[in-house]
Amino acid sequence: MPAVTRFTVLPLVTGLAERRQSLRSAIIITAFATAVGLTVVGTQHQAVLVFVAFAATCCLWTPMTPLTDAYALRGVSHYGLNYGPLRLWGSAAFVVGALACGLLVDVIAPERLIWVIATLAGLSALASLGLRTIDGLKKVDVRQRGRSALFRDPGFLGIILASALIQGSHAAYYIFASIVWKQSGLGGLTIAALWSLGVLAEIVLFAVSPRFTLAPAMLVMTGALAAIARWVITAQDPPIAVLAIVQLAHGLTFGLTQVGTMSLMVHHVPGHVMARGQGYLAACSGIVAGLASILSGAVYARYGQGVYYAMAAMAGSGAMVIWLARHRVATAPADHPHSAASGG
Protein backbone atom coordinates (compact mmCIF):
# COMPACT_ATOMS: atom_id res chain seq x y z
CA MET A 1 0.00 0.00 0.00
CA PRO A 2 2.76 2.55 0.70
CA ALA A 3 4.23 1.85 -2.75
CA VAL A 4 0.84 2.27 -4.44
CA THR A 5 -0.03 5.52 -2.66
CA ARG A 6 3.34 7.04 -3.63
CA PHE A 7 2.30 7.37 -7.26
CA THR A 8 -1.46 7.75 -6.80
CA VAL A 9 -2.58 9.72 -3.75
CA LEU A 10 0.77 11.32 -2.85
CA PRO A 11 1.04 13.73 -5.83
CA LEU A 12 -2.54 14.86 -5.18
CA VAL A 13 -1.77 15.70 -1.54
CA THR A 14 1.44 17.59 -2.35
CA GLY A 15 -0.32 19.43 -5.18
CA LEU A 16 -3.17 20.47 -2.86
CA ALA A 17 -0.71 21.74 -0.24
CA GLU A 18 1.03 23.78 -2.91
CA ARG A 19 -2.12 25.28 -4.39
CA ARG A 20 -3.18 26.45 -0.95
CA GLN A 21 0.37 27.68 -0.16
CA SER A 22 0.10 25.84 3.15
CA LEU A 23 3.10 23.53 3.35
CA ARG A 24 3.44 23.82 7.12
CA SER A 25 -0.26 23.12 7.67
CA ALA A 26 -0.11 20.11 5.33
CA ILE A 27 2.76 18.61 7.32
CA ILE A 28 0.88 19.09 10.60
CA ILE A 29 -2.35 17.59 9.22
CA THR A 30 -0.64 14.56 7.68
CA ALA A 31 1.44 13.99 10.83
CA PHE A 32 -1.58 13.96 13.14
CA ALA A 33 -3.64 11.92 10.66
CA THR A 34 -0.84 9.35 10.52
CA ALA A 35 -0.70 9.09 14.31
CA VAL A 36 -4.48 8.65 14.52
CA GLY A 37 -4.48 6.16 11.64
CA LEU A 38 -1.80 3.96 13.19
CA THR A 39 -3.68 4.05 16.48
CA VAL A 40 -6.79 2.79 14.68
CA VAL A 41 -4.70 0.06 13.04
CA GLY A 42 -3.64 -1.07 16.50
CA THR A 43 -7.23 -1.42 17.66
CA GLN A 44 -8.24 -3.74 14.80
CA HIS A 45 -7.84 -7.51 14.87
CA GLN A 46 -9.48 -8.72 11.67
CA ALA A 47 -7.20 -8.82 8.64
CA VAL A 48 -9.61 -6.95 6.35
CA LEU A 49 -10.10 -4.12 8.87
CA VAL A 50 -6.36 -3.87 9.50
CA PHE A 51 -5.81 -3.61 5.74
CA VAL A 52 -8.47 -0.93 5.27
CA ALA A 53 -7.19 1.14 8.22
CA PHE A 54 -3.58 0.85 7.07
CA ALA A 55 -4.44 1.68 3.46
CA ALA A 56 -6.25 4.82 4.57
CA THR A 57 -3.35 5.78 6.83
CA CYS A 58 -0.85 5.35 3.99
CA CYS A 59 -2.73 7.96 1.94
CA LEU A 60 -1.56 10.64 4.39
CA TRP A 61 1.57 8.96 5.73
CA THR A 62 3.57 8.60 2.50
CA PRO A 63 3.18 12.30 1.52
CA MET A 64 4.96 13.32 4.73
CA THR A 65 8.43 12.67 3.27
CA PRO A 66 8.07 14.84 0.11
CA LEU A 67 6.26 17.50 2.13
CA THR A 68 9.05 17.69 4.71
CA ASP A 69 11.69 17.57 1.96
CA ALA A 70 9.95 20.46 0.21
CA TYR A 71 9.83 22.38 3.50
CA ALA A 72 13.52 21.66 4.11
CA LEU A 73 14.52 22.77 0.62
CA ARG A 74 12.57 26.00 1.01
CA GLY A 75 14.55 26.58 4.19
CA VAL A 76 17.78 25.73 2.39
CA SER A 77 16.98 28.28 -0.30
CA HIS A 78 15.54 30.97 1.98
CA TYR A 79 18.13 30.85 4.76
CA GLY A 80 21.18 29.75 2.75
CA LEU A 81 21.50 26.44 4.62
CA ASN A 82 23.10 23.16 3.53
CA TYR A 83 20.90 20.13 2.89
CA GLY A 84 23.36 17.40 3.87
CA PRO A 85 23.85 18.29 7.57
CA LEU A 86 20.05 18.55 7.90
CA ARG A 87 19.42 15.20 6.23
CA LEU A 88 21.99 13.25 8.26
CA TRP A 89 19.67 13.35 11.29
CA GLY A 90 17.16 11.23 9.39
CA SER A 91 19.83 8.58 8.85
CA ALA A 92 20.99 8.83 12.46
CA ALA A 93 17.41 8.38 13.65
CA PHE A 94 17.15 5.30 11.43
CA VAL A 95 20.17 3.71 13.11
CA VAL A 96 18.86 4.48 16.59
CA GLY A 97 15.39 3.28 15.66
CA ALA A 98 16.66 0.04 14.14
CA LEU A 99 18.75 -0.76 17.21
CA ALA A 100 15.86 0.13 19.56
CA CYS A 101 13.44 -2.03 17.59
CA GLY A 102 15.92 -4.90 17.69
CA LEU A 103 15.88 -4.70 21.48
CA LEU A 104 12.11 -4.22 21.75
CA VAL A 105 11.37 -7.29 19.62
CA ASP A 106 12.86 -9.43 22.41
CA VAL A 107 10.81 -7.87 25.21
CA ILE A 108 7.49 -6.88 23.58
CA ALA A 109 5.00 -9.24 21.96
CA PRO A 110 4.92 -8.68 18.17
CA GLU A 111 1.26 -7.64 18.17
CA ARG A 112 2.11 -4.88 20.68
CA LEU A 113 4.80 -3.26 18.54
CA ILE A 114 2.15 -1.23 16.71
CA TRP A 115 1.76 0.88 19.86
CA VAL A 116 5.46 1.78 19.75
CA ILE A 117 5.00 2.87 16.14
CA ALA A 118 1.86 4.85 16.93
CA THR A 119 3.57 6.55 19.89
CA LEU A 120 6.50 7.66 17.75
CA ALA A 121 4.06 8.93 15.13
CA GLY A 122 2.37 10.94 17.87
CA LEU A 123 5.71 12.47 18.89
CA SER A 124 6.32 13.35 15.24
CA ALA A 125 2.93 15.08 15.11
CA LEU A 126 3.70 17.11 18.22
CA ALA A 127 7.09 18.09 16.78
CA SER A 128 5.40 19.34 13.61
CA LEU A 129 3.69 22.05 15.66
CA GLY A 130 7.11 23.65 16.12
CA LEU A 131 7.60 24.27 12.39
CA ARG A 132 7.79 27.89 11.33
CA THR A 133 6.09 29.39 8.34
CA ILE A 134 8.86 30.22 5.90
CA ASP A 135 8.21 33.76 4.76
CA GLY A 136 9.69 35.62 1.84
CA LEU A 137 8.21 33.41 -0.90
CA LYS A 138 6.51 35.36 -3.64
CA LYS A 139 2.84 34.71 -4.23
CA VAL A 140 2.30 33.48 -7.77
CA ASP A 141 -0.47 31.98 -9.78
CA VAL A 142 0.31 28.34 -9.04
CA ARG A 143 -2.56 27.11 -11.19
CA GLN A 144 -1.14 28.90 -14.19
CA ARG A 145 2.55 28.16 -13.74
CA GLY A 146 2.82 25.02 -11.67
CA ARG A 147 0.35 22.42 -12.87
CA SER A 148 2.07 21.33 -16.08
CA ALA A 149 5.20 23.47 -16.30
CA LEU A 150 7.36 20.86 -14.57
CA PHE A 151 6.29 18.15 -17.01
CA ARG A 152 7.27 20.44 -19.89
CA ASP A 153 10.75 20.90 -18.41
CA PRO A 154 13.18 18.26 -19.78
CA GLY A 155 15.69 19.18 -17.08
CA PHE A 156 13.25 18.39 -14.27
CA LEU A 157 12.21 15.13 -15.93
CA GLY A 158 15.88 14.19 -16.24
CA ILE A 159 16.46 14.89 -12.53
CA ILE A 160 13.60 12.76 -11.23
CA LEU A 161 14.17 9.90 -13.70
CA ALA A 162 17.91 9.70 -13.02
CA SER A 163 17.32 9.76 -9.26
CA ALA A 164 14.60 7.11 -9.51
CA LEU A 165 16.80 4.78 -11.56
CA ILE A 166 19.87 5.12 -9.34
CA GLN A 167 17.96 4.83 -6.07
CA GLY A 168 15.75 2.11 -7.55
CA SER A 169 18.87 0.07 -8.31
CA HIS A 170 19.02 -0.59 -4.54
CA ALA A 171 15.84 -2.72 -4.79
CA ALA A 172 17.56 -6.11 -4.86
CA TYR A 173 19.88 -5.02 -2.06
CA TYR A 174 17.02 -3.95 0.19
CA ILE A 175 15.02 -7.12 -0.47
CA PHE A 176 17.60 -9.91 -0.74
CA ALA A 177 20.82 -8.80 0.96
CA SER A 178 19.95 -10.19 4.39
CA ILE A 179 18.62 -13.42 2.86
CA VAL A 180 21.81 -13.97 0.84
CA TRP A 181 24.06 -13.14 3.78
CA LYS A 182 22.12 -15.51 6.01
CA GLN A 183 22.43 -18.29 3.44
CA SER A 184 26.16 -17.59 3.26
CA GLY A 185 26.46 -18.42 6.95
CA LEU A 186 26.70 -14.91 8.39
CA GLY A 187 25.20 -14.39 11.84
CA GLY A 188 22.54 -11.88 12.78
CA LEU A 189 25.01 -9.56 14.51
CA THR A 190 27.30 -9.56 11.47
CA ILE A 191 24.38 -8.81 9.16
CA ALA A 192 23.26 -5.96 11.42
CA ALA A 193 26.82 -4.60 11.41
CA LEU A 194 26.92 -4.67 7.59
CA TRP A 195 23.67 -2.69 7.37
CA SER A 196 24.95 -0.25 9.98
CA LEU A 197 28.14 0.33 7.99
CA GLY A 198 26.10 1.50 5.02
CA VAL A 199 23.99 3.92 7.05
CA LEU A 200 26.99 5.27 8.96
CA ALA A 201 28.72 5.92 5.63
CA GLU A 202 25.78 8.00 4.40
CA ILE A 203 25.73 9.93 7.70
CA VAL A 204 29.40 10.84 7.25
CA LEU A 205 28.77 11.85 3.65
CA PHE A 206 25.84 14.09 4.61
CA ALA A 207 28.02 15.71 7.28
CA VAL A 208 30.85 16.60 4.89
CA SER A 209 28.65 17.41 1.88
CA PRO A 210 28.90 21.22 2.33
CA ARG A 211 32.56 20.91 1.30
CA PHE A 212 31.76 19.34 -2.07
CA THR A 213 32.73 21.48 -5.05
CA LEU A 214 31.42 19.30 -7.89
CA ALA A 215 28.31 20.45 -9.73
CA PRO A 216 25.16 18.72 -8.44
CA ALA A 217 24.71 16.81 -11.71
CA MET A 218 28.22 15.41 -11.35
CA LEU A 219 27.43 14.35 -7.78
CA VAL A 220 24.51 12.32 -9.12
CA MET A 221 26.72 10.95 -11.88
CA THR A 222 29.35 9.89 -9.33
CA GLY A 223 26.67 8.17 -7.25
CA ALA A 224 25.50 6.27 -10.34
CA LEU A 225 29.02 5.13 -11.28
CA ALA A 226 29.62 4.03 -7.68
CA ALA A 227 26.37 2.03 -7.81
CA ILE A 228 27.47 0.26 -11.00
CA ALA A 229 30.74 -0.78 -9.36
CA ARG A 230 29.02 -1.73 -6.11
CA TRP A 231 26.45 -4.02 -7.68
CA VAL A 232 28.94 -5.69 -10.02
CA ILE A 233 31.21 -6.51 -7.07
CA THR A 234 28.27 -7.66 -4.94
CA ALA A 235 27.21 -10.04 -7.71
CA GLN A 236 30.51 -11.92 -7.24
CA ASP A 237 29.45 -12.97 -3.69
CA PRO A 238 32.61 -11.39 -2.19
CA PRO A 239 34.15 -12.44 1.16
CA ILE A 240 33.16 -10.59 4.31
CA ALA A 241 36.20 -8.28 4.27
CA VAL A 242 35.43 -7.07 0.74
CA LEU A 243 31.71 -6.92 1.51
CA ALA A 244 32.35 -4.59 4.43
CA ILE A 245 34.22 -2.18 2.15
CA VAL A 246 31.49 -2.41 -0.47
CA GLN A 247 28.91 -1.55 2.18
CA LEU A 248 30.69 1.73 2.80
CA ALA A 249 29.91 2.62 -0.81
CA HIS A 250 26.30 3.14 0.32
CA GLY A 251 27.40 6.64 1.28
CA LEU A 252 28.03 7.25 -2.43
CA THR A 253 25.29 5.20 -4.09
CA PHE A 254 22.49 6.50 -1.86
CA GLY A 255 23.89 9.49 0.03
CA LEU A 256 25.71 11.27 -2.80
CA THR A 257 22.81 10.67 -5.17
CA GLN A 258 20.42 12.13 -2.58
CA VAL A 259 22.58 15.22 -1.97
CA GLY A 260 23.04 15.82 -5.69
CA THR A 261 19.34 15.34 -6.43
CA MET A 262 18.23 17.72 -3.68
CA SER A 263 20.76 20.32 -4.81
CA LEU A 264 19.43 20.05 -8.35
CA MET A 265 15.88 20.40 -7.08
CA VAL A 266 16.65 23.49 -5.02
CA HIS A 267 18.41 25.19 -7.93
CA HIS A 268 16.17 24.05 -10.75
CA VAL A 269 12.63 23.88 -9.35
CA PRO A 270 10.91 27.20 -8.55
CA GLY A 271 10.12 27.57 -4.86
CA HIS A 272 6.37 27.95 -5.39
CA VAL A 273 6.16 24.48 -7.00
CA MET A 274 8.69 22.71 -4.76
CA ALA A 275 6.03 20.62 -3.01
CA ARG A 276 4.64 19.51 -6.37
CA GLY A 277 8.16 18.78 -7.60
CA GLN A 278 8.90 16.65 -4.53
CA GLY A 279 5.62 14.84 -5.06
CA TYR A 280 6.51 14.01 -8.65
CA LEU A 281 9.97 12.88 -7.56
CA ALA A 282 8.46 10.56 -4.93
CA ALA A 283 5.89 9.25 -7.42
CA CYS A 284 8.51 8.53 -10.08
CA SER A 285 10.75 6.87 -7.50
CA GLY A 286 7.81 4.79 -6.25
CA ILE A 287 6.94 3.53 -9.71
CA VAL A 288 10.54 2.67 -10.60
CA ALA A 289 11.24 1.07 -7.21
CA GLY A 290 8.06 -1.01 -7.44
CA LEU A 291 8.92 -2.25 -10.93
CA ALA A 292 12.52 -2.89 -9.86
CA SER A 293 11.30 -4.95 -6.90
CA ILE A 294 9.14 -7.12 -9.13
CA LEU A 295 11.97 -7.46 -11.65
CA SER A 296 14.54 -8.33 -8.99
CA GLY A 297 12.25 -11.01 -7.55
CA ALA A 298 11.88 -12.69 -10.93
CA VAL A 299 15.59 -12.44 -11.75
CA TYR A 300 16.71 -13.60 -8.30
CA ALA A 301 14.49 -16.68 -8.54
CA ARG A 302 16.38 -17.75 -11.68
CA TYR A 303 19.87 -16.28 -11.38
CA GLY A 304 20.42 -15.64 -7.66
CA GLN A 305 23.20 -13.12 -7.10
CA GLY A 306 23.09 -12.34 -10.81
CA VAL A 307 20.20 -10.01 -9.99
CA TYR A 308 22.79 -7.38 -9.08
CA TYR A 309 23.86 -7.18 -12.73
CA ALA A 310 20.33 -5.98 -13.52
CA MET A 311 20.65 -3.41 -10.74
CA ALA A 312 23.98 -2.26 -12.20
CA ALA A 313 22.23 -1.79 -15.55
CA MET A 314 19.58 0.36 -13.85
CA ALA A 315 22.24 2.54 -12.26
CA GLY A 316 23.96 2.80 -15.63
CA SER A 317 20.70 4.00 -17.18
CA GLY A 318 20.45 6.65 -14.46
CA ALA A 319 24.00 7.77 -15.23
CA MET A 320 23.13 8.09 -18.91
CA VAL A 321 19.99 10.14 -18.16
CA ILE A 322 21.76 12.65 -15.92
CA TRP A 323 24.67 12.90 -18.37
CA LEU A 324 22.31 13.76 -21.23
CA ALA A 325 20.44 16.25 -19.01
CA ARG A 326 23.53 17.85 -17.46
CA HIS A 327 23.42 21.00 -19.61
CA ARG A 328 19.69 21.52 -19.02
CA VAL A 329 20.12 21.38 -15.23
CA ALA A 330 23.30 23.42 -15.07
CA THR A 331 21.38 26.67 -14.61
CA ALA A 332 18.20 27.53 -12.78
CA PRO A 333 15.05 28.58 -14.66
CA ALA A 334 14.71 32.28 -15.34
CA ASP A 335 11.95 32.71 -12.76
CA HIS A 336 13.91 30.99 -10.02
CA PRO A 337 17.22 32.77 -9.33
CA HIS A 338 19.45 31.51 -6.53
CA SER A 339 22.68 32.60 -4.98
CA ALA A 340 25.70 30.42 -5.59
CA ALA A 341 25.68 29.28 -1.97
CA SER A 342 22.08 28.07 -1.93
CA GLY A 343 21.74 24.37 -1.38
CA GLY A 344 25.31 23.78 -0.23
Q: Read off the pLDDT of residues 152-180 as tens digits, 9 standing for 90 and up.
A: 888 899 999 999 999 999 999 998 898 88
From CA 333, how far away is CA 270, in angstroms rounded?
8
How much is the average pLDDT of 211-234? Answer: 94
Split at pLDDT 50, 70, 90, the class of 54 is very high
Sign of the dihedral defined by the CA atoms of residues 261, 266, 267, 271, in that order:
positive
Q: What is the pTM of this model?
A: 0.77
Rounded Cα distance, 79 and 199, in Å: 28
Give the CA diameter of the chain. 60
- Dump pLDDT digits (tens) for 66-118: 899 888 888 888 888 888 888 889 888 888 887 787 778 778 888 888 999 99
CA dihedral 34, 36, 39, 41 (to 10 degrees): -70
Q: What's the whole-number mean pLDDT along residues 270-276?
A: 79
Amino acid in position 263: S
Is 90 exceeded by the pLDDT of residue 141?
Answer: no
Higher pLDDT, 338 or 87: 87
Predicted confidence at residue 153, as pLDDT, reads 85
CA distance to 30, 57, 71, per residue, from 10 (Å): 11, 12, 16
* pLDDT class of 140 with cuts at 50, 70, 90: very low
- Closest C-alpha to 169, from 329, 84, 285: 285
